[in-house]
Structure 1
Amino acid sequence: MKLKVTHSALVVAWAFSCAAAHADVVKIGFAAPLTGAQSNYGTDMQKGVQLAINDFNATHPTIGGKPISFELDSQDDQADPHTGTVVAQRLIDDGVSGVIGHFNSGTSIPASDLYNRAGLPQISMATSPVYTARGYKTTFRLLTSDAQAGRIVGSYVVKTLHYKRIAIIDDRTAYGQGIADEFAKAVEAAGGTVVKRDYTNDKALDFSAILTNLKGINPDAVFYGGGDAQSSPMIRKMRQLGIKAAFVTGEMSRSPTFLKIGGSAAEGAIVYMGGLPKEKMPGFASYATRYKARFGEDPITYSPYSYDGTMALLTAMKDANSTDPKVYGPYLDKLSIKGVSAATISYDSTGDLKDAPVTIYKVQHGDFKPVDTIAGN
């Protein structure tokens, strides 16, 4: 049977083809560690951003009466604060209309100074309270802040898990030290005791001295503020030394790396993360299907949040009918959209997420099992 193609159908197809060919290209900046020990976080984020751009472009958006095509401009900040400012300036010089990133608080905070001076909205994975505390109208978050999460988790560990004597270790990064400080305040406010504060760095792999000292103190739990490159060998060494204390850590350890390197030693670890578990994310099932079709693998940890942040940025442009940051920026303040990671994505006056919950996970049988979700405040 021959397929009859009408003249009108050809005209429509030609029109769409011409529109796509002549669409104005608008760059969306992205910065995160794409090489090095933390590249798993950055590439996870990057895929969420790319998928959001693809999905938005598929709607054939028009802004200011012209067809628009969004394009990703990715930069590798190597999780290094100095490099972070270099790539931030590069994105500004590239003429991006908005930025998703950076991943780390330590890179996001100095980079935010540059974006603010340029009037460029930035939606970051940074969790440090400092990131939004300076009153910049250009800073927005993808995740629950450490101030929110620290209050919730510190209280939970003492009041629900009944761990009273807590040792705390952090990696001295803006993220690690920030969440450790907030957690410590919450532990003491809940009636617990911080029996030891110790420090390492985000390049260390040997924790023998720190942990040998902790063994003599015999805490109920050890809290670690930092990433999976340190938390996974740390928990292995704890168990090798016979330290039976519970191990509690944050969202950077909710990763395949922590499970793989931690191995059997990771069993029973308590790991929290801002947001809902994927089983309760309202748009996750459809998102996961599209993600796997595009990238040939399942979503990991951060991509649903970076997807939602990108959609928020692009929607603000659409609502404002402009890609000019000075025009669409204020629309982010009053934005409210349905998200993959949450029923509603919206921001308070500081750029923090409204109603941001925290989920407590426990490693059981080699996987992260959600055990409790606590409403944000």
Structure 2
Amino acid sequence: MSIIAPPLSLYIHIPWCVKKCPYCDFNSHAQNGELPVQAYVDALLADLDRDIESFAGAVAGRPLHSIFFGGGTPSLFAPDAIARILDGVGLRLALPDGIEVTLETNPGTVEHGRFDQYLRAGVSRLSFGVQSFDDSKLARLGRIHSASDAERAIRDAQDAGYSNINLDLMYALPEQTLAQALDDVERAISLEPTHLSHYQLTLEPNTLFASRPPPLPDEDSAWDMQDACQERMSVAGFAQYEVSAYAKDSRHSLHNLNYWQFGDYLGIGAGAHGKLTDVDRGTIVRTAKVKLPRSYLERAARDEPAGTLNPVDAAERPFEFMMNALRLNAGVDLRLFVERCGMDSSAIADALRSARKRGWISDDPERIVATELGRRFLNDVIGLFLPDRPGKA
């Protein structure tokens, strides 16, 4: 079967934060002195040049679908640095008019520049890491902003002209009650964002919270919070379209949708990951850049490759595809699996049959959609597609 090229996005990682949060397992590093902004921008563009050259068969002639600045705290970089990155990208790749360009930003006033300047630089969408509107909970999470900081920053961004704004919220926080979780959602809705990301706090390995766990709500309480918050967001017009994503007026995150639909993306920056499809060769590869900012900058200074690549073999593709696609409430067409994995649907027939038998996937033969029960046991559903654990009828 031939692979059909999916949309191509670009992920740009800015690895620094003012302070590392105790729950965070992302590749982020506390700022220590002045940031090497100029050198890092140079390194990013050199990294992009190497990827374009190394993966010419997968990149040449393809316009970008979306751009996402993640971190870390990308808004630690002033608007002129972000503008220089986007200008450099535009010289190397085709940028369609109106392309979605997202910048993650924290609400603290020391962590972002003027929003009107980011807008002029080409950033069309902002994602605020609010997490909670309860100051006591923010302190427990190690955040350095307050609820009033968050509200002020969001209003400032709207006044500057931003109409596409996401707010990140967490629930099942230390000693959080259902009423407190609902209050966070209520205050978020009152700020009129277009998108909400609503995540359960989990204890990730190699984090401070994992080594010294705070008192978290039990599983039943967390589930009650999720159900109640989902209902409140639905009433306010936010439609859930992915496990943790809710959009108003169909303002879905185009960048994240590309991930969930097994799209392609270049990944540049310390710790950035990418996925690229070469249609002519019928290959899919994943890339990973070195994590430490110092090592990343040193390799750039020596004009050396900044990372590694790993082929995604045919046996691994069903699991890789389902790991993201099954997170979508509407699922995906079966033909999307065929087109983006370059495999016949018979390759997953046994796993689908097993999932349907257990009530985890709907009976629609043309679509792959997790049922409500399947969403509750999503890891088990996805596990059916592991290469060493074929589904059984």
Q: TM-score under structure 1 normalisation?
A: 0.29
* Structure possessing the higher radius of gyration over alpha carbons: 1
Q: TM-score under structure 2 normalisation?
A: 0.28
**More helix by percentage:** 1
